[in-house]
């Protein structure tokens, strides 16, 4: 080709490579990737406002969408949450619905995949024209669903996604649980209170929740005076962790933080024992699943994890009615995720009743102004960031079941 | 000479105007959901036709196309999300205005295509030494390496990907305009390539590389060019994807996607542009409209692949294109027609 | 230093598994010059057979409750191993017969019956739970019916298809079969993970500071035994000799009176049996979660191992497997642990560009 052609092409390539280099340098902070205006401070981030109007109720039915991981690697998350949501919606309909209109729940499965979550939420908002969306458990999938809901102006309530970035997506996204800056801080205080000063971290790089939890833990733990001896990463769906665990062992931690999902934690615990890393593991609410212990055998005995403020063992009189109803319908005790699903759905019904107009802005405003809603996981008030302030429990795994070990309130640790 | 240039300019301008009107008049009249499906079809058409350029026309078996798709998407998204906010506020770059959105998208497209082209160049180099299934495996490997690299680059969000990409494609009802523009470009390029003298060299490399080499064809240049052009268009498709769906993550660009695109090319007929277009539309739209097909999508795709290979390995259209119906053409001597 | 040796041990343990699977790839490539993409998924099926055998079909006793049940459990584990190997061998032969052989020999009546069953399957699933009398009866009757109906279709197709010796077609078919097994597995087994609990007594040994778990050690020893058995078959039996003849020159083998179709089926079955053994051992002894996509990545890595050692070369596959395992263990233990999957592809690309014949292979000039 002619010299001038070559020069032009070379110039363009150089330009793009140069841009790439420049961007890599400046962008150590993943938050800067968001046009949502998330500042480096994080806490007082401005939530983008939506301009879309969502869907309005037409006719005698109120279509409400739900997206959950009913199948896939985190199937128990979706199934448990769905059971809680379904119970709440059925109870609401039996009590007359919302001003006489019945709520129709449309549930979609995202197979534990973020791409699928985006697709099904788009379908719910555009084809099924739901007026609100409930979901999801995994923060990564909630963020995807949340950005779609924000685009279409449909309010979304996530029952148990704890990464702070989920509600930063925009003013259409709310949650009824605590955020990881609180949960991970609880873990840090707990670890410190147990006497651990040197902790290693083994986090899931494919998981926003895991990465965020690890970071928040590190910040709080080092503030308290502890030390993170080392960090390693794995990926969801990995099966072999020995090499990474071995390298963590070399720094002699007193405990290992594994803020991942139950699907890998069991195998990690086993392989940790195989490797000779005989220290307690600490985790987060991602461990909460009936499938956790079958995967681990006895390897998780004596380990701890933080979770939402719900347990059958607490024998809280407010929760008895819910527990009995759940047990009667599904034949098993509810776990924290089912309880949060139940609360999220009930809060939505309450907001629908309070909404001045049954359309996007109306419902959104009603949810945002929720104050002291009596939930089975605690009194729920939605703050300006769309988050709720709740207490946390620390469970210990003893004899193949979860036992409540300690309670932490936000005041206790200064949040 | 002037008439030739004038003719070109007029036809390009006319195309742009027609596409603009299609986009702004037909676009808003479609249901939101249908529009989503149409855009997705369009993106897969671009991907399939660009892969056809590598696989069908040049005969280099590449099954890592999703890698180029990914690079284009991420580069385009990086422009809009990471670099654009840091450039001084220029009036014609302001997001939210017609001119601003269009300019930004054009810049993103150029950057995305170039980045993907560079990747295509790198991936095309092994094709100089490898043939057939080994080349296929290497391209698959490259696709995976690209995905793992993106997974590990924190600057573009790592495993969580990027969300909040400005919806430049969807603004002002211009989605159809951009999609159709790139489709027209890639189809036109493929057809021109096949009909031109230079294009014959591509076909020659496909038919028998050693003979082509012996005939003086610069097989190196041909093969690398095929990879570069094919990957550039895949990159453009990626930019469009990122700016329409406003959220990308490495999951969307995995081996499954590469294989889906390959299935479209194989089903339609390697070497047939119409085949790729038809197959892409069929395989994207059908699962959307037939619920059962959506749930069993991958099972049906894989069975289709197997059945196609057993019964009609050359694909639906084989090596042919869709031509004007026979009675509209001048009569050709008997013996023509699609190969059995 | 100790950590280094430890990682080396892990690498060798991992590598023995890759070697088992790689042997299947390399044998099939040797006789057919085909990259059997579906091989990794046969490994996955082996793991599932192991799961069902260990948790449902065989009377394993809970070791925590009765510690003395150790020896019976070990015997049952051997039964599970043989079961998995047999089922996978049959699966391998079926894949060869219905997906790859028609590409060589054309479609015939046997294929008609097979596809008849395939068509009957969704109907049987829809109109009656499959694993019931009604479902199975429906499957049988419809299957045979469709089979007979498809016979003339096959004959018509046979006349019209021009058999090409294109290896790309076979490769695409292989990809199709692989996807089918994975996604079919997703449908049949469900995507939730399944775990096999402790079925045989397990301990950890500490030798001079190096940890070796009994499970991994067993896998290593059994892999060696299977590889030795394979070597015996290939070098010292008639079938093995036929395999080697076919991998050398298939036409000449046919002229010498070898029933190539049968030997090729045997090759597939053999490789699949090895992969199945690997699958069931990994699932039962390392308790990893078993999911339908479980075989994808190990399959690809084992393929790279086969290419690394020299495609078609049996000792090469074993060597390649060990090298791959060690490389991956070292990368996983370093700072760059998330790149451990990419390392396999990097090795592949380097090998193919630098020495395409592999470590132990010979360069074959291409005749024009």
Residue A235's domain spans which residues?
Answer: 181-310+393-414
Which pLDDT does position A413 carry in this prediction?
81
In a domain, B173, yes or no: yes
CB contact under 8 A, B313 and C166: yes
**Residue A30: which pLDDT band, with cuts at 50, 70 and 90?**
very low
Q: Does C303 touch chain B (CB under 8 A)?
A: yes
Neighbour-count burial for A93-106, b at 16+ CB within 10 Å, e otherwise: beeebbeebebebb
Which pLDDT does position C366 carry in this prediction?
55
Contact status, residue B140 vs residue B239, Cβ threshold 8 Å: no
Is the model's pLDDT at B101 over the cut of 70?
Answer: yes
Number of H helices, E strands in chain A: 13, 14
Using the 8-state DSSP alphabet, how is residue C97 labeled?
I
Q: Which residue has the tokens 């059962």?
A: B292
The 3-state DSSP class for residue A155 equals coil
Is the model's pLDDT at A38 over the cut of 60?
Answer: no
Contact status, residue B222 vs residue B60, Cβ threshold 8 Å: no
In a domain, B31, yes or no: no
Of B63, B138, B148, the CB nearest to C339: B148
Which pLDDT does position A28 carry in this prediction?
33
In a domain, B177, yes or no: yes
Q: What is the mean pLDDT of chain C?
A: 86
Burial of B50 (0-12, 13-18, 19+ CB in 10 A): buried
Contact status, residue B288 vs residue B336, Cβ threshold 8 Å: no
Distance between CA B70 and CA A114 in Å, rounded?
16
Which pLDDT does position B89 carry in this prediction?
67
Q: Does A26 touch chain B (CB under 8 A)?
A: yes
Residues A301 and A319 in one domain: no
CB contact under 8 A, B157 and A30: yes
In a domain, A1, yes or no: no
Is the model's pLDDT at A58 over the cut of 90?
Answer: no
CB contact under 8 A, A22 and B83: yes
C-alpha angle with apex C95: C90 to C96, nearest 5 degrees? 100
* Residues 6 or more apart in contact with residue B33 via CB below 8 angstroms: A122, A123, A126, A127
Contact status, residue A223 vs residue A184, Cβ threshold 8 Å: no
In a domain, C119, yes or no: no
A172-231 tens-digit pLDDT: 999 999 988 899 999 999 999 999 999 999 999 888 889 899 999 999 999 999 999 999
Low-confidence ranges of chain C (pLDDT < 50): none
B neighbour chains, 3+ CB pairs within 8 Å: A, C
Kindly state the average pLDDT of the residues A255-279: 89
Neighbour-count burial for C76-113, b at 16+ CB within 10 Å, e otherwise: bbeebbebbbebbbebbbebbbbbbbbbbebbeeebbb
In a domain, B15, yes or no: no
Domains contained in chain A, number: 2
Which pLDDT does position A273 carry in this prediction?
85
**What are the structure tokens assigned to B247, written together?**
């959220």
Could you give the dihedral angle defined by the CA atoms of residues B273, B275, B277 and B279, in that order, rounded to the nearest 10 degrees?
Answer: -150
Which pLDDT does position C256 carry in this prediction?
92
Contact status, residue A172 vs residue A50, Cβ threshold 8 Å: yes
Q: Which residue has the higher pLDDT, A297 or C13?
A: C13
Q: Which residues in chain A have Cβ-Cβ distances shorter than 8 Å to B75?
A: 16, 20
In a domain, A222, yes or no: yes
Q: Which residue has the higher pLDDT, B123 or C21?
A: C21
Chain C 293-312, CB below 8 Å of chain A: which residues? 293-294
Contact status, residue A56 vs residue A358, Cβ threshold 8 Å: yes
C neighbour chains, 3+ CB pairs within 8 Å: A, B
CB contact under 8 A, A30 and B155: yes
CB contact under 8 A, B160 and A28: no
Which pLDDT does position C2 carry in this prediction?
75
In a domain, C12, yes or no: yes
Backbone angles phi, psi at A266, to 5 degrees: -60, -50
CB contact under 8 A, B137 and C348: yes
CB contact under 8 A, A23 and B251: no
**What are the structure tokens assigned to C358, written together?**
């592999």
Cα–Cα separations (whole angstroms), residue B240 to B39, B40, B42, B80, B113 = 9, 10, 10, 12, 11
pTM score, whole prediction: 0.82
Residues A229 and A173 in one domain: no
Kindly state the average pLDDT of the residues A299-305: 90
Contact status, residue C54 vs residue C192, Cβ threshold 8 Å: no
**What are the structure tokens assigned to B11, written together?**
């036809």
A117-136 tens-digit pLDDT: 888 898 899 888 899 999 88
CB contact under 8 A, C166 and B296: no
In a domain, B11, yes or no: no
Q: Does C2 touch chain A (CB under 8 A)?
A: no
* Partner residues linked to A132 by β-bridges: A64
B125-135 tens-digit pLDDT: 877 777 777 88
In a domain, C181, yes or no: no
The 3-state DSSP class for residue A404 equals strand
**Residue B91: which pLDDT band, with cuts at 50, 70 and 90?**
low
**Residue B330: which pLDDT band, with cuts at 50, 70 and 90?**
low
Concatenated DSSP letters of C35-87: --TTHHHHHHHHHHHHHHIIIIIS-PPPTTT-GGGHHHHHHHHHHHHHHHHHH
Picking from B66, B123, B137 by the largest number of C CB atoms within 10 A of its own CB, the best residue to mutate is B137
Kindly state the average pLDDT of the residues B100-106: 85
A6 φψ region: left (φ > 0), alpha (ψ -120 to 50), beta (else): alpha
ipTM: 0.83
**What are the structure tokens assigned to C1, written together?**
């230093």
Q: Which residue has the higher pLDDT, A25 or A367?
A: A367
Domains contained in chain B, number: 1
Residues A383 and A399 in one domain: no
Q: Which residues in chain C have Cβ-Cβ distances shorter than 8 Å to B313?
A: 161, 164, 166, 169
* Residues 6 or more apart in contact with residue B129 via CB below 8 angstroms: C352, C353, C356
Which pLDDT does position C198 carry in this prediction?
77
B250-292 tens-digit pLDDT: 888 888 889 889 989 988 888 889 999 999 999 888 877 776 6
Residues A171 and A191 in one domain: no
Residue B154's domain spans which residues?
Answer: 36-255
Which pLDDT does position B333 carry in this prediction?
54
Of A205, A266, A273, the CB nearest to C338: A205
Residues A22 and A164 in one domain: yes
In a domain, C184, yes or no: no
Picking from B133, B146, B279 by the largest number of C CB atoms within 10 A of its own CB, the best residue to mutate is B133
CB contact under 8 A, B259 and C179: yes
Residues A282 and A228 in one domain: yes
**What are the structure tokens assigned to C320, written together?**
């390649």
Residues A32 and A130 in one domain: yes
Kindly state the average pLDDT of the residues B135-159: 84
Which pLDDT does position A202 carry in this prediction?
94
Q: What is the mean pLDDT of chain A?
A: 83
Residue C278's domain spans which residues?
Answer: 2-90+190-354
**What are the structure tokens assigned to B316, written together?**
């639906």
In a domain, A4, yes or no: no
CB contact under 8 A, C192 and A244: no
In a domain, B203, yes or no: yes
B187-222 tens-digit pLDDT: 999 988 888 888 889 989 888 888 998 999 888 889
Contact status, residue C167 vs residue B132, Cβ threshold 8 Å: yes
* Residues 6 or more apart in contact with residue A63 via CB below 8 angstroms: A55, A104, A106, A128, A129, A130, A131
Which pLDDT does position C359 carry in this prediction?
85
Distance between CA C258 and CA C262 in Å, rounded?
9
Q: How far is B240 from chain C (nearest CA, A)?
A: 27
In a domain, A129, yes or no: yes
Residues of B with CB under 8 A from a CB of C: 61, 63, 126, 129-130, 132-134, 136-138, 141-142, 144-145, 148-149, 151-152, 210, 255, 259, 262, 266, 296, 298-299, 301-306, 309-313, 340
Burial of C233 (0-12, 13-18, 19+ CB in 10 A): middle
Number of H helices, E strands in chain C: 14, 2
Q: Does B219 touch chain A (CB under 8 A)?
A: no
In a domain, A167, yes or no: yes
In a domain, B152, yes or no: yes
**Residue A41: which pLDDT band, with cuts at 50, 70 and 90?**
very low
In a domain, A366, yes or no: yes
Is the model's pLDDT at A35 over the cut of 60?
Answer: no
Kindly state the average pLDDT of the residues A289-304: 84
Highest average pLDDT, of A62-66, A147-151, B88-92, C312-316, comes from A62-66
In a domain, A373, yes or no: yes
Kindly state the average pLDDT of the residues B172-193: 88
Using the 8-state DSSP alphabet, how is residue C175 labeled?
H
Q: Does C293 touch chain B (CB under 8 A)?
A: no
In a domain, B279, yes or no: no
Which pLDDT does position A84 carry in this prediction?
93
Concatenated DSSP letters of B49-108: HHHHIIIIIS------HHHHHHHHHHHHHIIIIIIGGGS---GGG-TTSHHHHHHHHHHH
Nearest partner of B73 among B102, B116, B107, B41, judged by Cα: B116
Which pLDDT does position A23 carry in this prediction?
38
Which pLDDT does position A19 carry in this prediction?
42
In a domain, C236, yes or no: yes
Using the 8-state DSSP alphabet, how is residue B131 labeled?
-
Is the model's pLDDT at A43 over the cut of 50?
Answer: no
In a domain, A2, yes or no: no
Q: How far is B62 from chain A (nearest CA, A)?
A: 24
Contact status, residue B138 vs residue A192, Cβ threshold 8 Å: no
Nearest partner of C93 among C24, C150, C188, C172, judged by Cα: C24
User: Of A339-348, A402-411, C154-163, where does mean pLDDT reach its minimum?
Assistant: C154-163
Domains contained in chain C, number: 1
Which pLDDT does position A36 carry in this prediction?
34
Which pLDDT does position A14 carry in this prediction?
46
Residues A267 and A401 in one domain: yes
Q: Which residues in chain A have Cβ-Cβ distances shorter than 8 Å to B162?
A: 33
Residues A268 and A375 in one domain: no
In a domain, C133, yes or no: no
SS (H, E, C) A5-38: HHHHHHHHHHHHHHHHHHHHHHCCCHHHHCCCCC
Which pLDDT does position C367 carry in this prediction?
56
Distance between CA C328 and CA A243 in Å, rounded?
9
Spacing of C-alpha C281 from chain mean position: 13
* CATH number of residue A106's parent domain: 3.40.50.2300
**What are the structure tokens assigned to C209, written together?**
């500071």
Is the model's pLDDT at A248 over the cut of 60?
Answer: yes
C-alpha angle with apex B242: B238 to B244, nearest 5 degrees? 115
Residues A254 and A296 in one domain: yes
Distance between CA A218 and CA A201 in Å, rounded?
9
For A111, which residue in chain B has the nearest alpha carbon?
A: B295
CB contact under 8 A, C287 and A235: no
* CATH number of residue C213's parent domain: 1.10.3470
């Amino acid at each position: 080709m002619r010299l001038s052609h070559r020069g032009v092409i070379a110039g363009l390539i150089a330009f793009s490579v140069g841009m790439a280099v420049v961007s890599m340098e400046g962008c150590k902070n993943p938050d800067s990737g968001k046009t949502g205006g998330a500042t480096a401070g994080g806490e007082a981030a401005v939530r983008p406002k939506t301009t879309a109007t969502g869907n309005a109720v037409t006719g005698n039915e109120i279509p409400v969408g739900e997206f959950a991981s009913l199948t896939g690697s985190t199937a128990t998350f979706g199934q448990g949450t769905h059971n809680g949501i379904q119970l709440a919606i059925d109870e609401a309909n039996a009590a007359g619905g919302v001003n006489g209109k019945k709520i129709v729940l449309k549930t979609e499965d995202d197979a534990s995949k973020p791409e699928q979550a985006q697709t099904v939420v788009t379908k719910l908002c555009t084809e099924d024209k739901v007026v609100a969306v409930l979901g999801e458990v995994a923060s990564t999938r909630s963020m995807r669903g949340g950005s779609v809901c924000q685009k279409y102006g449909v309010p979304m309530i996530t029952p148990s996604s704890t990464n702070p970035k989920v509600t930063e997506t925009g003013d259409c996204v709310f949650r009824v649980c605590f955020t990881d800056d609180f949960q991970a801080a609880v873990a840090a205080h707990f670890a410190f209170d147990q006497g651990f000063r040197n902790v290693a971290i083994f986090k899931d790089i494919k998981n926003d929740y895991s990465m965020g939890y690890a970071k928040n833990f590190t910040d709080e733990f080092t503030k308290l005076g502890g030390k993170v001896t080392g960090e390693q990463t794995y990926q969801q769906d990995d099966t072999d962790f020995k090499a990474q665990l071995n390298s963590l062992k070399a720094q002699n931690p007193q405990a290992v933080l594994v803020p991942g999902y139950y699907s890998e934690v069991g195998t990690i615990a086993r392989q940790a024992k195989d490797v000779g890393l005989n220290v307690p593991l600490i985790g987060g609410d991602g461990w909460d699943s009936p499938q956790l212990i079958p995967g681990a055998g006895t390897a998780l005995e004596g380990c701890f994890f933080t979770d939402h403020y719900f347990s059958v063992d607490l024998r809280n009189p407010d929760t008895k009615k819910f527990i009995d109803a759940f047990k009667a319908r599904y034949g098993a005790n509810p776990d924290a995720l089912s309880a949060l699903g139940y609360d999220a759905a009930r809060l939505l019904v309450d907001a629908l009743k309070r909404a001045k107009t049954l359309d996007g802005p109306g419902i959104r405003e009603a949810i945002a102004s929720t104050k002291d809603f009596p939930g089975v996981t605690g009194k729920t008030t939605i703050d300006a960031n769309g988050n709720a302030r709740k207490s946390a429990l620390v469970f210990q795994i003893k004899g193949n079941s979860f036992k409540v070990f300690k309670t932490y309130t936000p005041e206790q640790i200064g949040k | 000479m002037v008439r030739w240039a004038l003719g070109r300019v007029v036809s390009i301008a006319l195309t742009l105007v027609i596409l603009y009107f299609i986009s702004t008049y037909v676009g808003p009249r479609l249901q939101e959901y249908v529009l989503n499906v149409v855009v997705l079809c369009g993106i897969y058409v671009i991907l399939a036709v660009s892969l056809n350029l590598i696989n069908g026309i040049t005969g280099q078996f590449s099954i890592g196309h999703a890698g180029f798709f990914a690079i284009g998407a991420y580069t385009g998204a990086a422009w809009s999300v990471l670099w654009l906010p840091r450039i001084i506020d220029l009036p014609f770059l302001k997001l939210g205005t017609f001119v601003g959105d269009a300019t930004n998208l054009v810049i993103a497209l150029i950057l995305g295509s170039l980045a993907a082209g560079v990747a295509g160049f790198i991936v095309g180099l092994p094709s100089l030494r490898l043939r057939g299934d080994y080349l296929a495996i290497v391209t698959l490997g490259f696709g995976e390496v690209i995905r793992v690299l993106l997974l590990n680059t924190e600057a573009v969000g790592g495993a969580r990907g990027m969300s909040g990409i400005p919806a430049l494609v969807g603004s002002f009802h211009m989605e159809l305009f951009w999609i159709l523009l790139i489709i027209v470009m890639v189809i036109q390029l493929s057809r021109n390539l096949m009909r031109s003298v230079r294009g014959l060299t591509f076909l020659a490399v496909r038919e028998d590389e050693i003979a082509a080499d012996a005939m003086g064809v610069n097989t190196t240049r041909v093969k690398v060019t095929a990879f570069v052009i094919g990957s550039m268009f895949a990159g453009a498709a990626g930019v469009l994807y990122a700016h329409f769906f406003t959220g990308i993550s490495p999951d969307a660009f995995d081996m499954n996607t590469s294989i889906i695109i390959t299935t479209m090319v194989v089903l339609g007929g390697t070497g047939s542009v119409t085949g790729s277009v038809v197959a892409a539309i069929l395989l994207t739209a059908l699962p959307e409209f037939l619920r059962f097909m959506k749930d069993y999508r991958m099972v049906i795709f894989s069975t289709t692949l197997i059945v196609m290979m057993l019964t009609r390995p050359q694909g639906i259209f084989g090596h042919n294109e869709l031509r004007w119906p026979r009675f509209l053409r001048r009569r050709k001597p008997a013996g023509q027609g699609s190969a059995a | 230093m100790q950590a280094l040796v430890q990682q080396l041990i892990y690498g060798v343990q991992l590598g023995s598994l890759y070697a088992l699977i790689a042997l299947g790839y390399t044998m099939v490539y040797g006789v057919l010059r085909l990259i059997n993409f579906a091989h990794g998924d046969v490994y996955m099926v082996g793991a599932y057979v192991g799961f069902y055998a260990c948790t449902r079909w065989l009377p394993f006793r809970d070791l925590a409750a009765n510690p003395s049940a150790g020896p019976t459990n070990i015997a049952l584990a051997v039964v599970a191993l043989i079961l998995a190997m047999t089922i996978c061998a049959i699966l391998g032969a079926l894949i060869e017969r219905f997906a790859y052989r028609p590409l060589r020999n054309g479609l015939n009546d046997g294929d008609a019956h097979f596809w008849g069953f395939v068509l009957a399957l969704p109907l049987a699933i829809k109109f009656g739970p499959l694993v019931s009398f009604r479902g199975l009866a429906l499957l049988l009757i419809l299957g045979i019916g469709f089979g007979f109906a498809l016979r003339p279709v096959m004959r018509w197709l046979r006349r019209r298809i021009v058999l090409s010796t294109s290896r790309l077609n076979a490769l695409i078919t292989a990809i199709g079969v692989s996807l089918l097994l994975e996604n079919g597995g997703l449908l049949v087994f469900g995507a939730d993970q399944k775990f096999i609990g402790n079925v045989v007594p397990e301990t950890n040994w500490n030798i001079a500071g190096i940890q070796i778990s009994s499970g991994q050690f067993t896998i290593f020893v059994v892999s060696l035994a299977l590889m030795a058995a394979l070597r015996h078959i290939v070098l010292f039996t008639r079938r093995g000799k036929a395999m080697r003849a076919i991998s050398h020159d298939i036409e000449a083998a046919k002229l010498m009176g070898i029933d190539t179709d049968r030997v090729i089926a045997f090759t597939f079955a053999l490789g699949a049996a090895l992969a199945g053994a690997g699958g069931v051992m990994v699932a039962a002894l390392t308790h990893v979660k078993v999911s339908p996509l479980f075989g994808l990545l190990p399959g690809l890595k084992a393929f790279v191992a086969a290419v690394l050692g020299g495609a078609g070369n049996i000792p090469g596959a074993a060597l390649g497997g060990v090298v791959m395992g060690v490389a991956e263990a070292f990368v996983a233990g370093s700072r760059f642990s998330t790149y451990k999957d990419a390392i396999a592809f990097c090795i592949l690309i380097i090998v193919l560009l630098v020495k395409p014949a592999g470590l132990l292979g010979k360069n074959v000039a291409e005749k024009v």
